[in-house]
Structure 1
Amino acid sequence: MNLAAAANAALYSSMIVYTLAMLGFTWHLAARVPQVTTARAGASAETVRQSADVRERVLVGAGDGSSDGVGRAGTTSHPASTDAGGPAPAESLRSRQRGSIALMLTYLATALLVASVVMRGVAVSRPPWGNMFEFATAAAAAVGAAYCLLAKRNRWEWLGVFIVTPVLLVLGLSLAVLYTEAGELMPALKSYWLGIHVSVAFLAVAFFTIAFAVGMLYLVRRRREQKPPARPNFIESLPSSAALERTAYSLNMVGFILWTFTLIAGAIWAKQAWGAYWQWDPKEVWTFVIWTVYAAYMHSRATAGVDLRKSTYIALAGFVCVIINFTLVNLVSTFVGMHNYSGM
């Protein structure tokens, strides 16, 4: 078996293990639901107990003239309200075990995927991102690696299913639609800038992808905090909406910095390859559109008085632009330009 075939075998193996990891993360989230229900029942009982204590103090204070339950202005004291956006309920041992199993499977799947990308690069003696298939698999590996590094440190097992699922979809589409046999690069791509410009681009996409998943969860969590459901589910076990929003902002900031470098490096490479920094090529335009949308998000997020939910919508729109840039701009003839390297 040559290296290209071994790379394909590792890719198929990673998809199998990612599927098991996805099921494991789903299993993990299912174990978090009973814990949420128990925590909510305990909070309700505590609220009832506090209310009874307050009523008792008010009655005693009214009988003996003391100010135990009544303030000097004549207002009664109230029990502290339960903060829906507070800390998530403590995880059960069963939930932690399931999350750890799923995370270990994700480590293995990501290692297999990275090995596939490396073997394909060695097989063709070049950076393995010269066409859409190679970029998609490398970007999926970057998403998996970034999640693995962040998940262990931050205990992000709750996020796993929302990362592993899109990774699986991208790998499946890559094999079914985008697959290209390993081969030589087009002349215009034979430059050291390929290893710099494109690698930073898919690292930026990795952070944007994770931020998109966290941003979507933020919107759902915030809505359920404002209108608590009658029957809680795993959403109530997630960090507060404020914490999710801060996490999404931090991830988008890293992605934005990397994408800024991508835009600048692309212009420098274009000068070397085509003699001009900017030629209004569709890929150049959409790269700038993505940068502009995320810049608008950063500005909105830093502006006092702007609703964080509206800022998040801008970030989500930016990720939609990322998807358009990778799919439509590369595949639809309307966007034909100098970046026709899809291999399709």
Structure 2
Amino acid sequence: MEPVRLLDPEGRLQTDPRWPLEITPELCRDLHRRMRLARAFDNEALALQRQGELGLWLQSLGQEAAQVGSITALREGDYVFPSYREHAAALTRGIQPAELLIQWRGNSHSGWDPDQYRFHVYTLVLAAQLPHATGYAMGVQRDGADEVVAVYFGDGASSQGEANEAFNWAATMNAPLLFFCQNNQWAISTSTETQMRSPLHQRASGFGLDAHLVDGNDVLAVHAVTNAVARQIREGGGPALIEAVTYRMAGHSTSDDPGRYRTPSEVDAWQARDPIVRLERLLDDRGWIDDRYRDELEQECATLAATTRRVCQDLPIADFTSLFGTVMAEEAPPLAEQRRRYSELVASYVD
């Protein structure tokens, strides 16, 4: 199966009657703006981690089209279960920089109210969110709610037992659930070719899911396919899976060195398919953006980056000393020593 594509890497539109989409200047500018803002935020968060302001960061660099194209095709009331790299999707849902950063600064398990944004907290354990999403979708089904549940995960997570269990449960229960896999080619240092012998969308069909393959760096194709598939699920068509073929341009996390397992030529080849550049080529060719648009967007990105830095540095230093008192009924000497050393560490942060 060839992936669905409406916009090639050179920014040329191509039609696919199976996936109709009204491609307007307004739609393209909106998708472009959201991707640019997501990348500006992501780059600033990376800089903050390198400067010691965040303990860890996992970039979404290169995956903006897969996230923005899909999340904008859902309704605001549709509940979303992310993994841990869905920053572009989170920003599109309205989650604020401070809410996104607080977990990575080590202050909290999560910084936002899932019900407010209809966007669950990040899940760091691979594939754990898939059974959660399946159960939630079964609840939506029993409530008779006009709602689609969407769950994001990566190709690496698809090898976990929880993923296969979720596929089977969702299919047998006919749950209103959209599985959205961002196949970014690498499960940390394990390539897709090493990890699986048959593509995920083929395996999903074996579970009884309506499965689709899309060019994950083509934001228009992702938007069109997600829109159509979500509508089908909403109308009672049962669960579906979209595999978006994209690429993780950065490392798995800021503690990863991708140069140890992939070649510069591979990275260069995927950078030539940059999802933002691809859409910019269309916008330029059609005359849908001008210098004023570019200047205003550059300023908006700069403002977001500055805000991200400010709110991160304004987050208070967390003191979890009280947690040591809830571990054992009577504090053992090793635990007391850990508490003492932790207290000294917290005190060392004070200016």
TM-score (norm 2): 0.27
Name whichever structure is richer in helix by fraction: 1
Q: TM-score, normalised by structure 1?
A: 0.28
Higher relative contact order (CA 8 A, sep 6+): 2
Q: Which has the higher strand share?
A: 2
Greater Cα radius of gyration, structure 1 or 2: 1
